[in-house]
Structure 1
Amino acid sequence: MSAILKLKGVSKAYGTQQVLKPISFEVGEGERICILGPSGCGKSTLLQLVAGLARIDEGEIEMNGVVVERGNHYVPPENRPINMVFQDYALWPHMSIRQNIEYGMKRRKVPKGDMENRLRRLQSLLKLDGLLERLPAQLSGGQQQRVGIARALATEPRLLLMDEPLSNLDVKLRTDMRSELAGLLGDLSIATLYVTHDRMEAFTIADRILVLREGGIDQIGSPSELFERPATPWVAQLMGYHNRLKVRFGDAADSVVLAAGRPVEGVRMTPGAYAGAGVMMLHPESIFVCEGSVSDGGNRLEAKAIRAIYEGTRWRLIVETADGQPLHLFHDERVEPDARLTLRLPAQSVMLYADPARSADG
Structure 2
Amino acid sequence: MILKVKGVSKSFGSQQVLKPITFEVGEGERICILGPSGCGKSTLLQMIAGLQRIDTGEVEMAGAIVERGKHYIPPENRPINMVFQDYALWPHMNVKQNMEYGMKRRKLNVHDRASTLDQLQSLLKLEGLLDRLPAQLSGGQQQRVGIARALATEPKLLLMDEPLSNLDVKLRTDMRGELARLLGELSIATLYVTHDRMEAFTVADRILILRDGTIDQLGTPRELFERPASPWVAQLMGYHNRLEARLSQNGPPAAIVSGSLIVGNLMGTDHGDGRAIIMIHPESIEICSSDEALQEGNLLKVTVMQTIYEGNRWRVIAETADQQPIHLFHHCSVDAGSEWRIRLLPEQTMIYAESSMLAT
Taking structure 2 as the reference length, what is the TM-score of the superposition?
A: 0.97
Q: Does 1:346 align with 2:336?
A: no
Match of residue 174, structure 1, among 172, 175, 186: 172
1:35-54 alignment runs, 5 A limit: 35-54=33-52
Q: Does 1:83 align with 2:69?
A: no
1:193-232 alignment runs, 5 A limit: 193-232=191-230
Structure 1 residue 360: Cα displacement = 1.9
Aligned to 2:21: 23
CA contact 2:30–2:190 (8 Å) conserved in 1: yes
1:180-329 alignment runs, 5 A limit: 180-251=178-249, 254-265=252-263, 267-274=264-271, 275-293=273-291, 294-295=293-294, 298-329=297-328
Aligned to 1:106: 104
Q: Match for 1:272: what amino acid?
A: T
Q: Give the direction of change, closer, same or farther, for the CA distance of 1:53–1:252 in structure 2 (3 Å limit).
A: farther
Structure 1 residue 151: Cα displacement = 0.2
The structure 1 segments of at least 4 consecutive aligned residues displaced by more than 3 Å after TM superposition are 292-297
Quick check: 164-173 or 346-355, which moved more? Answer: 346-355
For residue 294 of structure 2, give the secondary structure of its aligned residue in structure 1: coil
Q: Match for 2:131: what amino acid?
A: E
Q: Match for 2:140: what amino acid?
A: G
Q: Give the direction of change, closer, same or farther, for the CA distance of 1:195–1:11 in structure 2 (3 Å limit).
A: same
CA distance in 2, matches of 1:224, 1:21: 26
Question: Can you list the C-alpha shifts for 1:103-126, whole angstroms capped at 9, x where unaligned?
Answer: 000000111111101100000000
Gaps of 5+ in 2: none
CA distance in 2, matches of 1:123, 1:206: 24
CA distance in 2, matches of 1:254, 1:144: 55
CA contact 1:263–1:297 (8 Å) conserved in 2: no
CA distance in 1, matches of 2:21, 2:28: 21
CA distance in 2, matches of 1:320, 1:225: 30
CA contact 2:240–2:282 (8 Å) conserved in 1: yes
Q: Match for 1:235: what amino acid?
A: V
CA distance in 1, matches of 2:244, 2:250: 16
CA distance in 1, matches of 2:83, 2:281: 34
CA distance in 2, matches of 1:241, 1:68: 40
Q: Percent identity?
A: 66
CA contact 2:254–2:351 (8 Å) conserved in 1: no
CA contact 2:267–2:356 (8 Å) conserved in 1: no
CA distance in 2, matches of 1:178, 1:317: 31
CA distance in 2, matches of 1:243, 1:220: 23
Q: Match for 1:331: what amino acid?
A: H
Aligned to 2:7: 9
CA distance in 2, matches of 1:24, 1:110: 35
For residue 175 of structure 2, give the secondary structure of its aligned residue in structure 1: helix
CA distance in 1, matches of 2:236, 2:356: 19
Q: Match for 2:267: what amino acid?
A: T
CA contact 1:159–1:193 (8 Å) conserved in 2: yes
For residue 269 of structure 1, give the secondary structure of its aligned residue in structure 2: strand
Question: Can you list the C-alpha shifts for 1:295-317, whole angstroms capped at 9, x where unaligned?
Answer: 36710111000111111111000
- What is the aligned-residue RMSD (CA, Å)? 1.2
Structure 1 residue 343: Cα displacement = 0.4
Aligned positions, number = 358
Aligned to 1:96: 94
Gaps of 5+ in 1: none
1:118-197 alignment runs, 5 A limit: 118-197=116-195
CA contact 1:262–1:297 (8 Å) conserved in 2: no
Structure 1 residue 282: Cα displacement = 0.7
Q: Match for 1:17: what amino acid?
A: Q
CA contact 1:51–1:82 (8 Å) conserved in 2: yes
Q: Give the direction of change, closer, same or farther, for the CA distance of 1:84–1:58 in structure 2 (3 Å limit).
A: same
